[in-house]
């Protein structure tokens, strides 16, 4: 359970919990200061002109607040928000149904937009540019194209892998923002805010301990807060102090750098099974028993940011920091030995 906690939290979030803790206003949203400021200006300008906001693309690792920002944008515009995701739109008729049910100024949020099928993307282009939808009626010799007028709407797309978006789709987003990992101080504010909403008694030191082990990700911080609360309730007096948080996180096998069991398995596999690399993501995924997409979207970004892995044209390579972390040293003949 512990070794899959990060991927479970980021890929299959607790929707009910997120709705409870999710900020609804720009003023309540912590972190991403530059992104937030630019979006606030865009929204304010659109409201002054009485227009729908330009289409927005939000990119970045999972759990950083892309869906939350989409909700905030819709509320700030006083518009309805319609939610869907790339994998659930299987045919053009699904997209046509979504678009024709939109009202003037509505916000359509498509999560994982990079997973849209190419044929469905083609239907989006005229809808985004000209607010028109071309649909084909009948088949064979009787087939004919009908153009429908759409109300002016805003498409907000979210993606963890913007590099997979086609150039024609990418260029149709006038507003493109990337969300980065949070600093520990920002996560500490998020933990304290969430503890108030969940009626959890937490010391500043306890919130700090949870924040610095949350991989720079608010969704993980909120999940760890609940797990530490359970530990404090059973093994302590219910109050989360630094010592209790440390014991709880150690039980969950999350170390002082926020690395869990799967992170360490990935790093060990690169060093022990592949002599420090380079190794392709497919081979590495097989070695640790995880999906390649999960490695690339969930684990790798943090490991690369923290300096444990390097991504090269030949594959993934372990850094000197990884050897120190695992108490190993590279051998001259490519073999790895313990320090």
Q: Please answer whether residues 245 and 214 qualify as being in contact, where contact means their C-beta atoms are separated by less than 8 angstroms.
A: no
Average the pLDDT over 2-7 and give the result: 56
Residues in contact with 96: Cβ distance below 8 Å, sequence separation at least 6, in sequence order: 123, 133, 135
Task: Give me the catalytic one of 30, 36, 42, 67.
Answer: 67
pLDDT attached to residue 255: 84
CA distances from 221 to 78, 209, 249, 274 (A): 30, 10, 12, 32
Judge whether residue 285 has pLDDT over 60: yes
pLDDT attached to residue 158: 92
CA dist 69 and 109 (Å) reads 10
66 is catalytic: yes
| Mean pLDDT of all residues belonging to the chain | 84
CA dist 29 and 41 (Å) reads 15
CA dist 152 and 46 (Å) reads 12
Which is more confidently placed, 77 or 9?
A: 77
Task: Give me the catalytic one of 42, 160, 217, 336.
Answer: 160
pLDDT attached to residue 2: 44
Tell me: the pLDDT tens digits for 136-169? 665 666 666 777 788 899 999 999 888 888 888 8
CA dist 247 and 258 (Å) reads 14
Q: How far apart are the first and last CA of the chain?
A: 30
Task: Give me the catalytic one of 36, 106, 111, 336.
Answer: 111
What is the DSSP secondary-structure string of 137-173?
ESSGGG-EEEEEE----EEEEEES-GGGS-HHHHTT-
Instruction: State if pTM tops 0.95.
Output: no
DSSP, res 270: I
Judge whether residue 64 has pLDDT over 50: yes
Q: Please answer whether residues 178 and 76 qualify as being in contact, where contact means their C-beta atoms are separated by less than 8 angstroms.
A: no
pLDDT attached to residue 335: 52
160 is catalytic: yes
CA dist 287 and 301 (Å) reads 19
At 57, which helix (H) or strand (E)?
strand 56-59
CA dist 197 and 222 (Å) reads 11
Task: Give me the catalytic one of 30, 36, 42, 66.
Answer: 66
Q: According to DSSP H, which parts of the chain are helical?
A: 5-11, 15-21, 33-49, 66-77, 92-100, 118-129, 167-170, 184-197, 204-212, 218-235, 242-251, 261-268, 281-288, 292-294, 300-305, 320-325
Judge whether residue 183 has pLDDT over 50: yes
Q: Please answer whether residues 317 and 308 qualify as being in contact, where contact means their C-beta atoms are separated by less than 8 angstroms.
A: no
CA dist 203 and 201 (Å) reads 7
pLDDT attached to residue 3: 47
Average the pLDDT over 117-126 and give the result: 84
Judge whether residue 8 has pLDDT over 70: no
């Amino acid at each position: 359970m512990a070794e899959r906690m990060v991927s479970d939290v980021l890929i299959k979030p607790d929707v009910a919990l997120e709705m409870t803790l999710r900020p609804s206003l720009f003023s309540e949203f912590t972190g991403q200061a530059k992104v937030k400021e630019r979006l606030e200006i865009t929204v304010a300008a659109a409201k002054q002109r009485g227009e729908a906001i330009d289409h927005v693309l939000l990119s970045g690792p999972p759990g950083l607040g892309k869906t939350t920002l989409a909700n905030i944008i819709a509320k700030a515009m006083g518009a309805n928000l319609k939610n869907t995701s790339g994998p659930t739109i299987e045919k053009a008729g699904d997209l046509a149904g979504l678009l024709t049910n939109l009202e003037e100024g509505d916000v359509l949020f498509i999560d994982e937009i990079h997973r849209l099928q190419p044929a469905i993307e083609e239907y989006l282009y005229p809808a985004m540019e000209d607010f028109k939808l071309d649909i084909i009626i009948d088949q064979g010799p009787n087939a004919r194209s009908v153009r429908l007028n759409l109300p002016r709407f805003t498409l907000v797309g979210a993606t963890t892998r913007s590099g997979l978006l086609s150039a024609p789709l990418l260029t149709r987003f006038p507003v493109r923002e990337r969300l980065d990992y949070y600093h520990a101080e920002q996560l500490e504010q998020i933990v304290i805010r969430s503890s108030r909403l969940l009626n959890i008694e937490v010391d500043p030191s306890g919130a700090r301990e949870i924040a610095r082990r949350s991989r720079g990700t608010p969704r993980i911080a909120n999940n760890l807060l609940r797990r530490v609360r359970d530990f404090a309730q059973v093994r302590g007096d219910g109050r989360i102090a630094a010592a209790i948080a440390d014991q709880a996180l150690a039980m969950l096998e999350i170390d002082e750098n926020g690395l869990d069991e799967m992170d360490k398995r990935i790093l060990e596999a690169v060093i022990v099974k592949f002599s420090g690399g380079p190794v392709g993501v497919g081979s590495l995924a097989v070695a640790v028993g995880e999906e390649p997409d999960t490695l690339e979207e969930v684990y790798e970004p943090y490991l690369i940011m923290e300096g444990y892995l390097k991504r090269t044209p030949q594959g993934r390579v372990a850094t000197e920091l990884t050897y120190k972390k695992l108490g190993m040293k590279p051998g001259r003949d490519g073999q790895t030995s313990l320090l």
